[in-house]
């Protein structure tokens, strides 16, 4: 009679327990390095796996490193930002009402904290600049030029978490006396938030209204301006799942309606471009921007840029004719994105400052564009802000000056406020000492 060796039940249970507790997160083989190519060593896949397993600390560590590993891939960088938002939401659930940003998110001198990628608009009726969001979402601030004073506008109705870096666009509707804020991408800071939102802000009553129009542009990264002659907000950017669909929209506050213009001769899809409304010519002026994709996109006059291209062409949009026109190539600022622009009526010129033409190559030059002559002019003021990208400019009719705030430079995010005098080509740093 043969005897059979049998493992005891307690041993089998122990082995099963060990197997069940082994992590499913992909391990990095010795000697290998993390990649961003969706292969075996893809760091974003590892971060997502850790997040799905509930290991939030490991997921946070991996996705933070992924932002560096994937710095040269714009699409995967955005994925990393979205995942980071989901992780931070899981670690610190979003409150139902927006906290006041006053104590923790003010600069040492009492103004907005250092910012880039924020949104600004000039409220003509109140003669104040309105600032929302950015790389450090800090609520809503207003700036009075004559007093050189920033004020935090605490409001329980303020949109929470919107206007994050690069995801929002804002313009002032003169006839309705409302600041219109459009957010086309939810970066994952609040997974329950809708993909796109349209808000209207009444500075007189410090009241925000979620307009909830239907239809609404979705998953769209873009810039927008107010066309005063047509009383429409004009939005252009890159939409679709891969941001490869160029879209032009017009918003009418009076009817709370977004209209997909399906404009003729549309520019290629892009984001982080510069747009301004030229009142003298009744045209929207657009310059540059970053185009998604890479080798599969063929554009004239482009240069490599973090997984896509930086564009250096000038376009105009005529709302009445619903037509885009690409202007002939002329000497100008060169390929760049994330610049700051504003229209100066006294000069009848669009003023451009700064921007970025490579991953870490900021610009510090000032240009003026004359659409009638189709000519760019390099202005050479004696004093000017440091080279930066992600700053925002608006024109103040009350002061006949351009206000610039924030930006991202080699030294980090900026909390500086600058004024530009178009008639004298003069920059003045208005930032008070702490």
- In order along its 434 residues, the chain shows pLDDT tens digits of 343 334 444 344 444 444 444 444 455 554 568 888 777 778 888 888 888 888 888 988 887 887 778 766 656 766 776 677 677 667 765 443 333 433 335 677 778 888 888 899 999 999 999 998 765 556 789 999 999 999 988 766 667 544 444 468 999 999 999 999 998 876 544 545 556 889 999 999 999 999 999 999 988 889 999 999 999 999 999 887 777 899 999 999 999 999 999 998 999 999 889 999 999 999 999 999 988 764 433 333 333 333 457 888 999 999 999 999 999 989 999 989 999 999 999 999 999 999 988 656 899 999 999 999 999 999 999 999 999 999 999 999 999 999 999 999 888 889 999 999 999 999 999 998 76
What is the pLDDT, as a whole number, of residue 263? Answer: 95
What is the pLDDT, as a whole number, of residue 23? Answer: 43
Place of tokens 């001769």: 265
What is the pLDDT, as a whole number, of residue 195? Answer: 66
What is the pLDDT, as a whole number, of residue 135? Answer: 57
What is the pLDDT, as a whole number, of residue 312? Answer: 87
**What whole-number distance in Å separates Cα of residue 38 and Cα of residue 50?**
16
What is the pLDDT, as a whole number, of residue 292? Answer: 77
3-class SS at 303?
Answer: strand
List, in sequence order, the alpha helices (H) in 70-202: 74-91
57-73 exposure pattern, b = at least 16 Cβ within 10 A, e = fewer: ebbbebbeebbebbbeb
**What whole-number distance in Å separates Cα of residue 414 and Cα of residue 347?**
28
Whether the CB-CB separation of 213 and 196 falls below 8 Å is answered with: no
**What whole-number distance in Å separates Cα of residue 5 and Cα of residue 111?**
77
- Break the chain into its structural domains and give their ranges: 11-91, 119-429
DSSP 16: H
Q: For domain 119-429, give the CATH superfamily.
A: Kelch-type beta propeller (2.120.10.80)
User: Which residues on adjacent β-strands are paired with residue 152?
Assistant: 141
**What whole-number distance in Å separates Cα of residue 165 and Cα of residue 187?**
9
Helix, strand, coil percentages (3-state) for the chain, rounded to 5, are 15, 35, 50
Q: Which of 132, 273, 288 is nearest to 203 (CA)?
A: 132
What is the pLDDT, as a whole number, of residue 122? Answer: 98
**What whole-number distance in Å separates Cα of residue 425 and Cα of residue 357?**
24
pTM: 0.75
Whether the CB-CB separation of 163 and 193 falls below 8 Å is answered with: no
């Amino acid at each position: 009679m043969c005897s059979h060796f049998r493992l005891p039940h307690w041993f089998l249970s122990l082995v099963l327990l060990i197997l069940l507790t082994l992590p499913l997160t992909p391990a990095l083989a010795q000697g290998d390095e993390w990649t961003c190519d969706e292969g075996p060593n893809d760091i974003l896949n590892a971060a997502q796996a850790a997040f799905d397993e509930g290991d939030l600390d490991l997921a946070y560590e991996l996705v933070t490193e992924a932002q560096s590993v994937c710095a040269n891939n714009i699409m995967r960088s955005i994925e990393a930002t979205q995942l980071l938002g989901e992780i931070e939401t899981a670690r610190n659930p979003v409150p139902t009402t927006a906290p006041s940003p006053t104590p923790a998110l003010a600069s040492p001198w009492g103004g907005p904290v250092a910012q880039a990628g924020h949104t600004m608009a000039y409220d003509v009726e109140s003669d104040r600049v309105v600032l929302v969001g950015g790389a450090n979402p800090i609520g809503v601030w207003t700036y009075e030029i004559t007093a050189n004073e920033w004020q935090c506008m605490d409001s329980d109705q303020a949109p929470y978490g919107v206007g994050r870096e690069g995801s929002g666009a804002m313009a002032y509707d003169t006839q309705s006396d409302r600041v219109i804020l459009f957010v086309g991408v939810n970066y994952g800071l609040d997974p329950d938030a809708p993909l796109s939102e349209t808000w209207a802000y009444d500075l007189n009553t410090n009241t925000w209204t979620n307009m909830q129009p239907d239809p609404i542009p979705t998953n769209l990264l873009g810039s927008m301006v107010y066309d005063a002659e047509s009383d429409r907000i004009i939005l252009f950017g890159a939409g679709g799942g891969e941001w490869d669909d160029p879209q032009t929209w017009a918003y009418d506050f009076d009817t709370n309606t977004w209209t997909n213009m399906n404009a003729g001769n549309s520019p290629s899809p892009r984001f982080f471009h510069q747009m301004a409304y030229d009142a003298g010519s009744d045209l929207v002026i657009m310059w540059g921007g970053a185009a998604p994709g890479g080798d599969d996109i063929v554009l004239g006059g482009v240069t490599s840029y973090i997984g896509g291209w930086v564009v250096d062409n000038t376009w105009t949009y005529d709302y009445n004719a619903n037509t885009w026109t690409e202007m002939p190539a002329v000497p100008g600022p060169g390929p760049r994105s994330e610049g700051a622009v504003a229209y100066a009526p006294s000069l009848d010129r669009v003023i451009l400052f700064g921007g970025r033409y490579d991953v870490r190559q900021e610009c510090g030059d000032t240009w003026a564009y004359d659409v009638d002559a189709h000519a760019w002019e390099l202005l050479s003021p004696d004093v000017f802000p440091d080279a930066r990208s992600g700053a925002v400019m608006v024109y103040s009719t009350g002061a006949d000056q351009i206000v610039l705030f924030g930006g991202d430079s080699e030294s980090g995010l900026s909390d500086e406020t600058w004024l530009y005098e178009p008639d004298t080509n003069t920059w003045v740093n208005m930032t008070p000492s702490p």
